[in-house]
């Protein structure tokens, strides 16, 4: 009986305690959303902002990896075709007019759109105007995020792409010829997009001057293939030993020389 007299008041105390309103700053029940999100109008804690930015960067890194590895379909002439059209440029040297066609893959465009969807960005069809509107090219413009740092980070990585033409000799030595001309890539940063009235228009290619306004921070994928001719200079004696022609897109390393070919040792492509 003594135990019952002690337990009874204790149960009553717990019951009253559970009915008290929560103190300021506490969360009643298990509503994790209320505990995690700040009230309307207040900034998120710096650690939460940092975690979000870090997460977006990881997503963008994964996207860029797909762009680099799966984003480009490259068509080139064969070694025999290049030999047939080679022209003597200087004593013991010849120039090769190498036709190149680069197209963005459908899979990578889907990945870009999906990234924008996941990060709260924007995807839209646009036109790229050339020669003061005389030429209009169809493109897909995407602003992958609303965060200026994320936008700049992706633009600069996409803007660092380099096309490398490899002319492989019979012993595995390679002539490497590179170009970073932004107009030769189907996936590029957009300097500004005009989206007021009518169809959105890409005003220019390149890194945006800033990223805090909604006209800036886009990347564009051109819907049709891009074709150009690369002029490659090589030794006439090496022309006879030309066996393979490869093309690839890499991220700029800093050692590439625009429009020039350098003879290197054996590479993975040349073995």
What pLDDT is recorded for position 13?
38
* 3-class DSSP assignment, residue 196: coil
Give buried/exposed letters for 42-74 (b at 16+ CB in 10 A, else e): eeeeeeeeeeeeeebbebbeebbebbbeebbee
- The C-alpha atoms of residue 107 and residue 99 are separated, in whole angstroms, by 25
Q: Tell me the mean pLDDT per 10 residues along the chain, length 271.
A: 42 38 36 36 50 81 96 97 91 92 95 95 91 79 95 96 96 93 95 85 94 95 95 92 96 76 68 39
- The C-alpha atoms of residue 209 and residue 192 are separated, in whole angstroms, by 8
- The kind and range of the H/E element at 112 are helix 106-118
Q: Where are the domains of the chain?
A: 49-253
- The C-alpha atoms of residue 172 and residue 78 are separated, in whole angstroms, by 16
What pLDDT is recorded for position 54?
76
What pLDDT is recorded for position 50?
52
The number of residues making up the chain comes to 271
């Amino acid at each position: 009986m003594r135990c019952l007299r002690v337990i009874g008041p204790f149960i009553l105390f717990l019951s009253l305690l559970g009915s008290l309103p929560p103190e300021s700053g506490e969360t009643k029940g298990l509503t994790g959303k209320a505990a995690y999100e700040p009230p309307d109008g207040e900034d998120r804690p710096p650690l939460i902002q940092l975690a979000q930015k870090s997460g977006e960067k990881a997503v963008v890194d994964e996207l860029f990896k797909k762009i680099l590895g799966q984003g480009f379909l490259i068509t080139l002439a064969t070694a025999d075709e290049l030999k047939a059209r080679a022209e003597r440029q200087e004593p013991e040297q010849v120039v090769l007019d190498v036709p190149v066609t680069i197209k963005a893959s459908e899979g990578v465009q889907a990945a870009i759109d999906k990234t924008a969807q996941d990060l709260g960005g924007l995807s839209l069809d646009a036109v790229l105007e050339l020669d003061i509107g005389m030429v209009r090219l169809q493109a897909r413009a995407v602003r992958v995020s609303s965060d200026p740092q994320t936008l700049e980070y992706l633009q600069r990585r996409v803007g660092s792409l380099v096309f490398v033409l490899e002319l492989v000799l019979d012993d595995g030595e390679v002539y490497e010829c590179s170009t970073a001309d932004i107009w030769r890539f189907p996936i590029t940063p957009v300097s500004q997009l005009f989206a007021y009235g009518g169809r959105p228009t890409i005003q220019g290619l390149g890194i945006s001057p800033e990223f805090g306004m909604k006209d800036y921070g886009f990347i564009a994928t051109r819907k049709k293939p891009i074709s150009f001719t690369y002029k490659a200079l090589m030794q006439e004696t090496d022309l006879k030993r030309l066996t393979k022609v490869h093309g690839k897109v890499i991220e700029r390393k800093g050692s590439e020389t625009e429009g020039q070919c350098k003879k290197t040792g054996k590479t993975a492509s040349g073995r």
